[in-house]
Amino acid sequence: MSTVIDLVQLYQFAGFSVQSSLNPSHFEGFNNKGIPFSYIFSGTKIYEGDQLLCVGGGLSFTEIYFLECLFKEYTPGNIFIIGNAFGWSTLTMALLNPGAKVVAIDACPSPDELRGIEVTNALARKSNLNAHAVIGTSPDDVNKIIESYFNDQVDFVFIDGEHTSKQLLLDFYACRESTAKKCVFLFHDVINFSMIEAFTEVISSQEDLFGSLLFRTTSGMAIAFPKEFEGVIRPIIDVFTEPDQRLLDLKRIGQTDLNLEAKLSEKMKLQLKLWR
């Protein structure tokens, strides 16, 4: 069965319901930063009284499909995640990588994320998944938790915590120090939350990492990976982004305010630079 079916059924069997992957143009008052993603509600049907658990949206179906394609070609053994929320991405990674160990942290700012930790661990146990959700805050707890939970080096990191450029860099550098030299880093929401420049800094500061924005993923994810994996990973990336020239053309076509041209071209230069 497919991963999204397994995942939705896993939550439903446990008494939750899922809202996912909706188009904001179909629902007045919603935007592309919220409704296209995945949310867990208490109760098996989304009635008025049912409560949204965790405000942080999880991976969209398209993004899960991207991961499915990626992990068919590239198989990590140890996966670390910043941002567990209600466990959606933690369980996705574990379902897609049955041979891997998955550990996710969450700072748990409210009782919802604390419940998210419990539910994630209970669902992982129920499905025999090697996934663990732990209370922890990045960057301070990253090293300690990686050291105590993994026997071998972490080779895949998913960063989906606080969506600011400053925090993205703190998350990345903390993980970089504690993970394998050949680790692959995937960042959620880079384009949606205007973190392109922070991602560019990641790539320019790390001689051995290649990177790309993934324009065909819902949140505008970005991936950084060591040169060794270029042959395996690049063909998948090429399918989940747009060619540079097409990006430039689209920006030009959508351009109504000509004064914006200079600003946009600066941004495009940043994007064009990403491949070494």
Ligand X SMILES: C[S@@+](CC[C@H](N)C(=O)[O-])C[C@H]1O[C@@H](n2cnc3c(N)ncnc32)[C@H](O)[C@@H]1O
Binding segment (CB under 6 A) for ligand X, from list 45-53, 103-111, 198-206, 234-242: 103-111
Residue with tokens 């604390």: 114
In whole angstroms, give the CA distance from residue 191 to residue 175.
Answer: 21
- Residue from 61, 67, 106, 124 binding ligand X (CB under 6 A): 106
Query: Shortest Cβ distance from residue 3 to ligand X (Å)?
Result: 13
Looking at beta carbons, which residue is closest to ligand X?
Answer: 56
Residue 176, number of CB atoms within 10 A of its CB:
18
Binding segment (CB under 6 A) for ligand X, from list 15-23, 105-113, 120-128, 206-214: 105-113
Nearer to ligand X, 91 or 236 (CB): 91
Distances (CA, A) of 275 to 45, 194, 208, 213, 230: 45, 19, 12, 10, 11
Identify whether 139 is preceded by a cis peptide bond (ω within 30 of 0): yes
Site for ligand X in 26-55 (CB under 6 A): 54
Residue 76, number of CB atoms within 10 A of its CB:
23
220 contacts ligand X (rule: CB under 6 A):
no
Site for ligand X in 128-187 (CB under 6 A): 137-138, 160-162
Binding segment (CB under 6 A) for ligand X, from list 85-93, 95-103, 118-126, 243-251: 85-93
Distances (CA, A) of 160 to 186, 238, 253: 9, 22, 31
82 contacts ligand X (rule: CB under 6 A):
yes
- Residue from 22, 107, 247, 264 binding ligand X (CB under 6 A): 107
Burial (CB < 10 A; 0-12, 13-18, 19+), residue 78, is: buried
Of 86, 18, 90, 27, which Cα lies nearest the Cα of 55?
86
Query: Shortest Cβ distance from residue 243 to ligand X (Å)?
Result: 28
59 contacts ligand X (rule: CB under 6 A):
yes
Q: What is 42-62 written as a DSSP string?
A: ESSS--TT--EEEEEEE--HH
103 contacts ligand X (rule: CB under 6 A):
no
Please report, as ranges, the residues that interact with ligand X according to CB under 6 A. Answer: 54, 56-59, 82-83, 85, 88-89, 105-107, 109, 113, 137-138, 160-162
